[in-house]
A = this chain, B = another copy of it.
Amino acid sequence: MSQDRDDDLLLKKNQVAGNGLLDRRLFLKKGLQFSAISTLVSTATLASATAETKKEFDPANPTWMKQPGKAFSPYGLPSEFEDDVLRYPSPNEVVTGNGVSWTPLHKMEGTITPNGLHYERHHNGVPQIDPKQHRLLIHGLVKNDLIFSIDDLLRYPMQSKTCFIECGGNSNAGWNSQPHQAEAGYFNGMVSCCEWTGVPLSVLLNEVGLRKNAKWIIAEGADAFAMQMSIPIEKAMDDAFLALYQNGERIRPENGYPLRLIVPGWEGVLNVKWLRRLKVTNRPVMARNETSKYTELQPSGKSRMFTFPMEAKSLITSPSAHMLLKEKGLYQITGLAWSGRGKISKVDVSADGGKTWAEAELQQPVLDRSLTRFRLPWQWNGKQSVIMSRATDETGYVQPDRNKLIKERGKHGFFHYNAITRWQIDTDGFVSHIYENDETTKNNSDISIDSGWD
């Protein structure tokens, strides 16, 4: 009973929204709050600290303290005990080397994506490019065509920018009529965030010299698909850059080695990998991925095309689908928010299905067009609960709920799904994905989302 009294006291003093959402500054407080949490967490803690635990703790006990450990490694890898923290590939079964692999957002913390877990989206596999043979050609509506080797580019001034890259098709299962039941990262994990370093595109465009009628740039990749995408000249001259490094080391093959175009905040497909050619033109190339794909008929009868920036979005990564809360008590609700239009200004969290909201703590510094980590303590009372997050970016744009998104965009979308995601925690602690006005969809059959990748 003392446990329950402490829980009540904790709630009475710190609840900031319905169903147990607590003050985000809770853990900065001293005294009563701590004794209350202490009882709470220590109960869990000491419960696990049984006699057997104490035996385990015998200083002489762990085998790894009785023998020398492993040797130095020239290039390190994760612990063998983390061998389930992996990208989840969804290859297209009818097109060789086509498909995606998802970043396991639900098993990660912080904001940086380690290079080994950055999501993949390929149209014809990962080319193994020899950087000594690779060249970049800039031509078209320019004063001098120029060809650059990688060694040439390494002499240019560089800049670093931490930013997310999100596939325009990320979270497309959200368009399904029934809520997709999979781990959070395995249908929302086509977004990753790294520190990219390279040469500002404006420097090279100034060097080749743009002609008056230069309006677009066609970027081409050196993969067997020869990806082509069109980028407006204004964006190319603004903040686009040619990345050679990813989180301090050279770019990974699956992310464009040796050279990738970075177009901060815009659809992933525009961040052309294995970049070999930039053709300056007066109109878009109207390639497959800007016509048959990335073009969507709207309820209005008009089509969306060239929908470049990724809209503000957020996702609770823990607790999230397929996790199990072992007991009622204190938990941290945490997740990620991002916007292709700038910085995240706030993230609201609800634990009562959207009736009431509380503002989450944002990990500082909040960076432009980067994943932003949010956190809020939550006292789960053991009852069925629906948790959700809602991002607002610095332009004032607010992440929509699903009904609003479908009303605007129709039911048959595939790209740019950024609606609020609802996780339902059942009385047994199991977490599942639900839609609003729908509390009974846990057992729907899983819907394949591979078909979209071609």
Contacts of A118 in B (CB 8 A): 76
Query: Which of A262-270, A282-290, A327-335, A390-398 forms contacts with chain B?
Result: A327-335
Q: CB within 8 Å of B: which of A123-161? A: 124-131, 133-135, 137, 144, 146-149, 151-152, 155-160
- Of the candidate stretches A10-18, A82-90, A211-219, the one touching chain B is A82-90
Could you give, for residues 252-273 of chain A, a 1 whenever the CB lies within 8 Å of some chain B CB and a 0 otherwise? 1111011000000000000000
Pair A42/B144 contact, Cβ less than 8 Å: yes
Q: Is the CB of A120 within 8 A of B72?
A: yes
State the CA gap A46–B152 with chains docked (Å): 10
Contacts of A248 in B (CB 8 A): 108-114, 117
Q: CB within 8 A of A128: which of B30, B79, B206, B244?
A: B79
Given contacts A97-B69, A137-B57, contact A257 B44 (CB under 8 A): no
Known: A86-B75, A257-B79, A365-B365. A160 touches B252 (CB 8 A): no
Residue ID in chain B nearest A101 by CB atoms: B72
| Cross-interface CB contact of A158 among B56, B109, B365, cutoff 8 Å | B109
Q: Would A129 and B64 count as touching, CB distance under 8 A?
A: yes
- Chain B residue at minimum C-beta to C-beta distance from A57: B135
User: A85 to B248, alpha carbons, bound, how many Å?
Assistant: 11
Chain B residues, CB < 8 A from A334 = 158
Considering only CB atoms, which chain B residue lies closest to A27 in the complex?
B157
Give the nearest-CB partner of A33 in chain B.
B206
Q: Are B197 and A116 in contact (CB under 8 A)?
A: no
Q: Specify which chain B residues have a CB less than 8 angstroms from the CB of A81 in the assembled complex.
A: 129-131, 257-258
A207 within 8 A of B: yes
Closest chain B CB from A253 CB (angstroms) = 5
Assess the A69–B116 pair: CB atoms within 8 A: no
* Identity of the chain B residue whose Cβ is nearest the Cβ of A129 in the assembled complex: B64
Instruction: Give the residue name and chain of the B residue nearest to A377 (CB).
Output: B157
Asked if A87 and B74 make an inter-chain contact with CB atoms under 8 angstroms apart, the answer reads yes
CB distance from A326 to the nearest CB of B (A): 9
Cα distance, A82 to B250, chains bound together (Å)? 8
Ordered by A's residue number, 26 sampled pairs between the chains whose C-beta atoms are within 8 Å are A27-B203, A30-B206, A42-B207, A44-B155, A49-B146, A53-B135, A53-B149, A64-B129, A65-B223, A68-B224, A69-B122, A69-B128, A70-B126, A70-B253, A71-B89, A75-B87, A76-B118, A76-B255, A79-B131, A79-B257, A81-B130, A110-B245, A155-B332, A157-B375, A159-B363, A247-B247
- In the A-B complex, the 6 residue pairs with the smallest Cβ-Cβ separation, listed nearest first, are A69-B125, A64-B127, A74-B86, A49-B147, A72-B89, A110-B197
